Every structure is written in C-alpha cells, then in structure tokens.
Amino acid sequence: MSMEIPFVNSDTDVRVLKRHHRQAKMVRISLLNIGPLGRTRRHLPPLWLDPAVDGYDLVLKEQTMEKMDDRWRDLMEGRDEWNALSDTASVRKPDRSKVRDFAWSILDECLRYRPRWLTVPQLPVTSDTSRNRVNRMLAEATCRWKEDSGFKGELVLPLVFTHGDQLKRKGEWGPKVTLARKCLEDAGASIVWTVDSNLSDQLGWSTLDQRFSALVKFHEGLRRTFSEERIIAGPYWVMTLVLWVRKLCDHPAISLGSGYRYYVAGGHIRTPKVRIVIPPIRRWVVATPSLKDWLRSALRRFSRSDPVYKELKKLEESFDALIAAKANGPETVEQFEVDLPSVDNACEPRFHVVGNGDGGWDVVEKEWVIHHSIVCRVTSTTGEEKAKRIADLLNKEGG
C-alpha cells in the first residue's frame, strides 16, 4: 500500500486516481463533491470525507454568503444552525448549543457515505485568537457526536493556514499548534492534517526559499507536539515529498488536478490552465502554442540518439492531443510524479560549488534532498565527484 493520500475534486481526478493511485492509503473527497463522485467510487481506496466547513473562512472574510459557490451555500444552508459560523460576532462569542447542532448536522450528512476517516469541523487558522473558542466547541461536539452516532472510523484534525506569515516564526505558529493539541484531545482525533493553503511551491519564486525553510521548521515543531499521532502534509507540489523524506509527515497529500495548492471549500471554481511537465528540465509549464515552437527549437539542438531528444520528441508528437483533450494534462503531470524514485533512492547528499572567500572555489556538502526538488540550483549537484570537477575547472579558469 502506498502512503500518499490523493485529494480528489472532479471526475478527471478520479480517472487519474484509478490509473496511478489504486493502492493509495486513502482518498480524500470533500462533502461538496461526494455526490457527483459517488457513482465513481467503486474500486477506489478507502474514503476520507471532509465536511467542507473550512469554507466559512471565506464567508467571514467577505462578511456575506452571496459570494460563495452555489453548491457550497446550498449544502450549508440545509444544515441545522448553519449560521452559527457565518458572522464574526457569532464566532467570537459562540453559542455552544448552536455550534453543537451545526456540527452534528453536518457530520450526520457525512456519515451517509460511510467514510473510513472524517475531518473534524474546524475553521482555518487566523493570526489572532478569535476562532479559538469556537474551534474547541466544534471539537468537543465532534467527540460527543462520535459517541452518539456509533462512528467506528478515525477522526482527522485539520490545521489549515491561510497565509505564509502565519508560519514565519514559532511565535506565530506555536500557539496554534498548542491549540490544535487541545482540539485533538477534545475531539478524540488520532490524525493531524496541516496545509498552508496560500503556498504555490511549483511557481519556483526565489522568495519561496524562506517559506520552505519556515515550513520545515514548523513541521519539526509539529512532529514534536504530535509524536504519537499520524501527520498528513499538503497538498503541495514538491514540499510534501521533502517533508515525507525528512520523516516530518506520515502521509504526503497530493492534488490530482491542474493545480497543486489546496483551496478551502466554497470558492468559485476557476477554469484551469492546461499544464504539462517537461521531464528533462523538471519544469511544469502552461501548454500554449508557443511551447510547441519551443519544443521544435529544442529538438534541433540534440542528437536523435540523446535520451533528452527522445523525451522531447514524444512530448512534441503528443502535444496537439494534450491541447485538444484538457483532461490529459493532469495525467501527464501525474505520470511524471509517479516515475519519481522510491523514498530509499530519492535522496542523496547534495554538494554545492561555492566561493571560499579567497578567490577560489570549494565543494561543500549540504543536507540530504530529493533529486528532483525545485529548490536545487544550477550550482548544485547530487554527485560529489562531479562537484569536484566543476570546482577544479572554475579554479583553473579563475572562476
């Protein structure tokens, strides 16, 4: 059984799931999407169902339900005491009975689909303490609901961050982790799922380096706090793999659609761009007509016997089909991800060629990293001998 947990949001995702992830530990589906996907659940991994309560984060920010997706609004407005979380005043001074009635109502709806795991209803993290009380109440209500309903599965406590600043320093995230510990105990949950819903690590911006480092430090602190519980991280593009290799999470969450970032429930669905992976350069790009021109130009630079030529040629020949059938785009990306090496072979010590301050160049061993991580630089290599040759060459030529 594979340890990854795919997040499924559409019929296209289900096709990718069936093709590449039949042996996944679990499949996570939102209650918002379980109806349309119910007919395709046969032969899928066990179900982790999320009640989509994190969508109230958008309601509280906008101070209205009108901007929410119609399906999400219909789902919530059909629940008992659905407005218990819909305005700032109710959240700051929650009514325990109303919070309980809402939690029980949404969890009863989830139970209809016989999930193996269930997400504890929680509001996403904010920088202040305004949601602390209501999240404790939601956790307590979930515990009582489980006892009353006879639900035999496991409960997953969500810790959803909505801005990178919330993870910059321990002073920011430390109190949130402490609260999560209390909520986990209140709910009787055994699993923690955490994600920075504002992180799009596939973009490769230089400013992301600090966020990557902060995310790792956060997970180190999270692991210390939840040493006995299982931890799910993501979905992200590559950071889930980094965290998994470092043993900072037990299950890497992966997205099967056109994007790799997690979005809270209830926002308006945007038309995704078709993106494909170019394996030789480990890049995820938008598929446009100009990309096909680039592929043809690149092919002229390689010998036909070069493995790079063969990979680019295969992509160039199938390019029109990928554009015509958008559903194939995610599968192309997913195929590349499945081809990544196993965890035992996925990392080696990375060696950097760096200036030594005396006008020369030295080889410095860095931490263990994944081969295909986007954080690798042109000046780094996974082979020590190759790094030494580069340093020797630079020193011979005067840098």
pLDDT of residue 349: 41
Distance CA 121, CA 144 (A): 13
- Give the angle subtended at the CA of 266 by the CAs of 264 and 269, to the nearest 5°: 95
The pTM is what?
0.76
Distance CA 314, CA 307 (A): 11
CA distances from 353 to 32, 256, 357, 365, 367 (A): 50, 36, 12, 9, 14
For residues 16 and 41, the model is more confident at 16
Q: Which of 261-270, 274-283, 361-370 has the highest mean pLDDT?
A: 261-270
Q: Which fold has domain 5-255?
A: TIM Barrel (3.20.20)
Any idea which residue has 């956790």 for tokens?
A: 139
Instruction: Indicate whether 118 pLDDT > 90.
Output: yes
Instruction: Indicate whether 129 pLDDT > 80.
Output: yes
The region, left, alpha or beta by phi > 0 then psi within -120 to 50, assigned to residue 81 is: left
Q: Would you place residue 151 in the very low, low, confident or very high pLDDT band (cuts 50, 70, 90)?
A: very high
Going from N- to C-terminal start, the domains of the chain cover 5-255, 275-338, 347-396
Q: Return the closest-CA partner of residue 391 out of 366, 345, 360.
A: 360
In this prediction, residues 81-102 reach a mean pLDDT of 95
For residues 329 and 283, the model is more confident at 283
Q: Taking the CB of residue 156, how many other CB atoms lie within 10 A of it? A: 25
pLDDT of residue 388: 59
Instruction: Indicate whether 342 pLDDT > 50.
Output: no
Q: Residue 321, exposed/middle/buried by CB under 10 A (0-12, 13-18, 19+)?
A: exposed
In this prediction, residues 235-264 reach a mean pLDDT of 89
CA distances from 213 to 17, 113, 115, 199 (A): 31, 39, 35, 13
pLDDT of residue 324: 64
Q: Would you place residue 397 in the very low, low, confident or very high pLDDT band (cuts 50, 70, 90)?
A: very low
Instruction: Indicate whether 371 pLDDT > 50.
Output: no
Instruction: Indicate whether 332 pLDDT > 80.
Output: no
